[in-house]
């Protein structure tokens, strides 16, 4: 594949990446070629978008149909006070353009679902799900599996969060199919069991931590650096400042995942 050389501005901008042996010039070229879709421009999506734009992802798509409200600003750092009432995609596009003019921003003004999702998801290499509802999470997991796209999925609750990477269309070193989202969460919780952020509250930095970690997983997937969280669920507790990782495998006969600490 022919490469588009990095400009002198890009070489200076990404110098701290390029000197990393795990990324280097080849990795930065891969980031420039990459097309990443971020679902949600809210608490998790904000740091994902900012750090992927800063990292030099060539094409950054964002799907969101919401507008900015005052209560968003405690955690949704893509947006400012002047953006209240505006579409989140508008302020996101402006922030990305100001941060890195080498990134192509693509706005998808809608809520992704099984009907409109295939045409959009198929245009990207990797998807990051930062949505705040189970319907979208399950829909994105199914879409990414059927379209063979890696999915980085994060969730938060008050002072804690979780993060994993899904590639169920591939097999692991043992020849066994990698796990699905439904191996971790076979069924969505009953309506009302999991309170919303408005009901339970959320520490603003919880979304910042999980979103930043999700962006790191995308960079690893694109460049091949390190070991992504495939078959591993990262659990973050900011009150105790504790990070735990649970390994899980594809459930047998469609059952739930087999997990181990």
Neighbours of 13 (CB within 10 A): 18
Long-range contacts of 136-144 (CB under 8 A, 24+ apart): 136/39, 136/40, 136/111, 136/112, 137/181, 138/181, 138/182, 138/188, 139/112, 139/113, 139/114, 140/39, 140/112, 141/166, 141/180, 141/181, 141/182, 142/114, 142/181, 143/112, 143/114, 143/117, 143/118
Q: Is residue 113 part of a domain?
A: yes
Neighbouring CB atoms inside 10 A of 66's CB total 16
Q: What is the pLDDT of residue 252?
A: 66
Encode the chain (261 residues) as per-residue pLDDT tens digits: 456 789 999 999 999 999 999 999 999 999 999 999 999 999 999 999 999 999 999 999 999 999 999 999 999 999 999 999 999 999 999 999 999 999 999 999 999 999 999 999 999 999 999 998 888 999 999 999 999 999 999 999 999 999 999 999 999 988 899 999 999 988 777 666 666 777 788 999 999 999 999 999 999 999 999 999 999 999 999 999 999 999 999 986 544 445 555
**In a domain? residue 56:** yes
Question: Looking at the 3D structure of the chain, how many domains does it have?
Answer: 1
Answer whether residue 4 is part of any domain: no
What's the pTM value of the predicted model, to 2 decimals?
0.93
Q: Is residue 8 part of a domain?
A: no
Expressed as residue numbers, the domain containing 21 is: 14-168+176-260
DSSP letter for each residue of 181-245: HHHH-SSPPPTTSS--HHHH-B-HHHHHHHHHHHHHHHHHHHH--S---BTEEEEEETTTTEEEE
Residue 158 β-bridge partners = 202
Residue 1 lies in a domain: no
Question: Which CATH number do you get for residue 134?
Answer: 3.40.50.720
In a domain, 254, yes or no: yes
Q: What is the pLDDT of residue 1?
A: 46
The verdict on residue 2 lying in a domain is: no
Residue 210 lies inside a defined structural domain of this protein? yes
């Amino acid at each position: 594949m022919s490469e588009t050389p990095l400009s002198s501005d890009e070489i200076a901008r990404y110098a701290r990446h390029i000197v990393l042996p795990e990324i280097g010039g080849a990795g930065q070229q891969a980031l420039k070629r990459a097309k990443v879709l971020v679902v949600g421009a809210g608490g998790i999506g904000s740091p994902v978008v900012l750090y992927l734009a800063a990292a030099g992802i060539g094409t950054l798509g964002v799907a969101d149909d919401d507008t900015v409200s005052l209560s968003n600003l405690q955690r949704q750092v893509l947006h400012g006070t002047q953006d209240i009432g505006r579409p989140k995609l508008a302020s996101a596009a402006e922030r990305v353009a100001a941060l890195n003019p080498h990134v192509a921003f693509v706005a998808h003004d809608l809520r992704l679902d099984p009907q409109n999702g295939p045409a959009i998801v198929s245009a990207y290499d990797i998807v990051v799900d930062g949505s705040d509802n189970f319907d979208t999470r399950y829909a994105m997991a199914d879409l990414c599996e059927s379209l063979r796209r890696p999915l980085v999925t994060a969730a938060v609750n008050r002072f804690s969060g979780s993060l994993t990477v899904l590639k169920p269309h591939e097999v692991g070193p043992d020849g066994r199919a990698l796990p699905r989202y439904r191996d971790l969460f076979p069924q969505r919780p009953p309506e009302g069991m999991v309170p919303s952020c408005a009901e339970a509250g959320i520490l603003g930095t919880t979304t910042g931590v999980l979103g930043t970690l999700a962006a790191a997983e995308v960079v690893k997937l694109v460049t091949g650096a390190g070991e992504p969280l495939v078959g591993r669920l990262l659990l973050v507790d900011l009150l105790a400042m504790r990070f735990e990782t649970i390994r899980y495998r594809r459930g047998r006969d469609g059952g739930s995942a087999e997990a181990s600490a």
